[in-house]
Amino acid sequence: MILFFTPRFLDHLTPAGHPESPERGDVMRAAAQRARDLGIAVRDPREASDAQLLRVHGADHLANLASRRGRPTSIDADTFTSPDSDTVARLAAGAACEAALHALATGEPALALVRPPGHHAERTQAMGFCLYSNVAVAAAAARAAGAARVAVVDIDVHHGNGTQWAFYTDPSVLVVNTHQFPFYPGTGAATEMGHGEGVGATLNVPLEAGATDADHAHVWNTIIDPALVRFHPDLILVSAGFDGHQDDPLGAQRMSTAGYRAWLSAIRARAARTCGGRLAVITEGGYDLQALRACLDATVDVLHAPVAASTAWIGATGPDRRGREAVAALRSHPLLSLEP
């Protein structure tokens, strides 16, 4: 595997007490150092170019963020910039692109430890702590590099609205979201399946608050893994938010570190069997620092270890009604044909 990280990710400053703090960057730096100690190559990313960003964002959006350089600003009640934030956010999007393009070219798994996160940023709007839509920019870069089909699996506790809208009419990019619902940002209903030619290439799996490892395992085994098989992507990208962890202060899910490890192991096994191991994992949320560190270490371990023998998520018992209800809500999705 290869890992992309730069200490510049600590230079995006947020107000005191903000969940998306530079201390998250310290955790990422420690995880990157552990990866080096394991013999994993760690590379500094390049900034995303205007051309890469403009595949997803409007020119006015780039100009707006550039105009905020050199001073602290507030975009909304949750989203802030500091003097270096535009450069740091371009590095985050660039790291996502480099991870995706490396995985696409080599079949070697790649990991980008980045901040600020990206999956809420829309074409013309920064929001939800996010400035550029990192994974969407990476998916568009992979398409431009020759990938016929790209799948994004977003496991953050919040719905990735920015990624969804970037490809809502595009049948070549499958966007899968598992998320607490209803919850910020309010999007991600099971009925949101795409539009026009893109119908069926959006797969939302909304879960009630309190969903456990077993609930997530059930929707992976029953819904998401079969959908990936049917879509048959050339590359899988993971928006890896760890704020569904039971210790996270923002979400209300009950995922464990072991659950995230099993989930990522199953995704990597699917990538090995479906797209030649072409898998890139890019960080999103995760705001309990101890849980974030444990999940990052688990991610490194999964990507560095031999591929699991099975694509099934194993080791979780259940599910309870949350997982069963999520499956029931998606029986009519075009990528699925579930038995009653």
* Domains of the chain, CATH where assigned: 2-328 (3.40.800.20)
Give 102's Cβ-side CA count (13 Å radius): 22
Q: Tell me phi and psi for residue 176, to 5 degrees.
A: -110, 130
Over residues 183-229, the pLDDT tens digits come to 999 999 999 999 999 999 999 999 999 999 999 999 999 999 999 99
Is pLDDT above 80 for 34?
yes
CA distance 139 to 145: 10
Average pLDDT over residues 13-28: 98
CA distance 323 to 301: 27
Is pLDDT above 80 for 21?
yes
More confident residue, 331 or 34: 34
Q: What's the per-residue H, E or C state across 204-256?
A: EEEECCCCEHHHHHHHHHHHHHHHHHHHCCCEEEEEECCCCECCCCCCCCEEC
pLDDT of 315 reads 74
Is pLDDT above 90 for 119?
yes
Is pLDDT above 50 for 257?
yes
Residue 179 designated active-site? no
Contact residues for 298 (Cβ-Cβ < 8 A; gap 6+): 257, 258, 260, 261, 264
pLDDT of 18 reads 98
Q: What is the pTM of this model?
A: 0.97
pLDDT band, residue 317 (cuts 50/70/90): confident
pLDDT of 284 reads 98
pLDDT of 141 reads 99
Share the mean pLDDT of the chain: 97
CA distance 198 to 286: 30
Is pLDDT above 80 for 340?
no
Is pLDDT above 80 for 106?
yes
pLDDT of 316 reads 77
Residue 198 gets the label, from left (phi > 0), alpha (psi -120 to 50) or beta, of alpha
Q: What angle do CA 293, 205, 323 make, to 5 degrees?
A: 85
CA distance 18 to 125: 20
Among residues of the chain, what percentage have pLDDT more than 70?
Answer: 99
Q: Are the C-beta atoms of 3 and 45 separated by less than 8 Å?
A: no
Which has the closest alpha carbon to 100: 151, 54, 139?
139
CA distance 55 to 235: 18
pLDDT of 314 reads 80
Cis amide leading into 171 (omega within 30): no
Catalytic residue among 61, 120, 179, 333: 120
Helices 85-106 and 134-144: angle between axes, nearest 10 degrees = 40
pLDDT of 338 reads 56
**Chain-centroid distance, C-alpha 92:** 12
Among residues of the chain, what percentage have pLDDT more than 90?
Answer: 95
